[in-house]
Structure 1
Amino acid sequence: MSVDAPRAREAAGGRSVLSGVLLGLGVAAFVDETVFHQLLHWHHFYDKSTPAAGLVSDGLFHAVSWFATIAALFLLADLRRRAAFRAPLWWGGLLLGAGGFQLYDGTVQHKLLRLHQIRYHVAVAPYDWTWNIVAAVLIVAGAVLLVRASRRDR
């Protein structure tokens, strides 16, 4: 085994995690945008202005999530082409990315910046708790997968 082989394996592992994180972000944002913004009409990405501004903010939000998804898939294709894809790290990254997006959305965007709430004209506490607990579960599951995969590699 050459001296560079462990470094190459570590780099491939990092790229597998990055691809998973980006896809997790993209998928979580896509689900948020599709379900809560478009189908249920509960909120827009930015609700502090007119409905037209909210729609534009939704479009920009959707575009960014789409770019994250495309970047993730390009990374994944490159890893597969090089036979360097590490599935446990990728799945851990995907769960971490989805949970990280959801926790960021539920804490920073909803509470700190108050860009929008999950829902309006109802008691939001059950929605907030559910949103953030699901985020924490996703993050913990992703972290567990990453730790297990790292231990297996040693």
Structure 2
Amino acid sequence: MTNQLHRSPLISAGVLMGAGLGGFVDGIVLHQILQWHNMLSNQLPPDTLVAAKVNMYWDGVFHAAVWIMTAIGLRMLWSVGNRHDVPWSGRTFMGALLLGWGLFNVVEGIIDHQLLGLHHVQEYATNKLPWDLAFLGFGLLLLLSGWSLIRAGRHDTASRSVAGEYR
């Protein structure tokens, strides 16, 4: 048995789960609770029943996609649990979750808000740019926090022994 530990499987699972969970926060809080925007609200304002239904459909597609990401990340985490060469580090895993959420915000903010213009964070604001920039800034903060936690956990060595116990 080798003594070399590999953190990348735990980080990969955490990043995918973090991106999915970050998508859920966006969809639940911004789409449903606050009702600031929908997936297509800049292109198709939900001001008629048909437009609202089309937006609701695409919000559902979005939720299905982030659910699949989260489920795949959870499956990856389950597989990591069977590996004895992966150190179990709360800092590494939490950092990966934050990194994934930050990646979601930055990618979604650049592509959907800026490049494609599908929607903005606060669709009904007079000036949408500050809201979009705050969303991107929060994403960058999550990225930096996640990266810092992953770096802080790089020396964590709590790996599982063959009997399934923690050392």
The TM-score, its normalising length taken from structure 2, stands at 0.78
Specify the code of the residue in structure 2 equivalent to 1:93.
Answer: A
Specify the code of the residue in structure 2 equivalent to 1:25.
Answer: A
2:114 matched residue in structure 1: 111
Q: Aligned-pair distance for 1:153?
A: 6.5
2:123 matched residue in structure 1: 120
Cα RMSD of the aligned pairs, angstroms, is 2.0
The percent of aligned pairs where both chains have the same amino acid is 30
CA distance in 1, matches of 2:124, 2:140: 26
For residue 135 of structure 2, the aligned residue among 117, 131, 136 is: 131
CA distance in 2, matches of 1:26, 1:60: 13
1:74 matched residue in structure 2: 75
Larger radius of gyration: 2
1:22 aligns with 2:16: yes
CA distance in 1, matches of 2:106, 2:148: 17
Deviations 1:5-46 (A, max 9, x none): 52xx22xx1110011101111111001111111112221112
SS class of match (1:121): coil
CA distance in 1, matches of 2:122, 2:74: 32
CA distance in 2, matches of 1:17, 1:142: 10
Ranges in structure 1 where 5+ consecutive residues have no aligned partner = none
Q: Aligned-pair distance for 1:126?
A: 3.0
CA distance in 2, matches of 1:42, 1:71: 29
For residue 92 of structure 2, the aligned residue among 70, 89, 92 is: 89
Deviations 1:97-130 (A, max 9, x none): 0011111122221011101111223122331232
The TM-score, its normalising length taken from structure 1, stands at 0.84
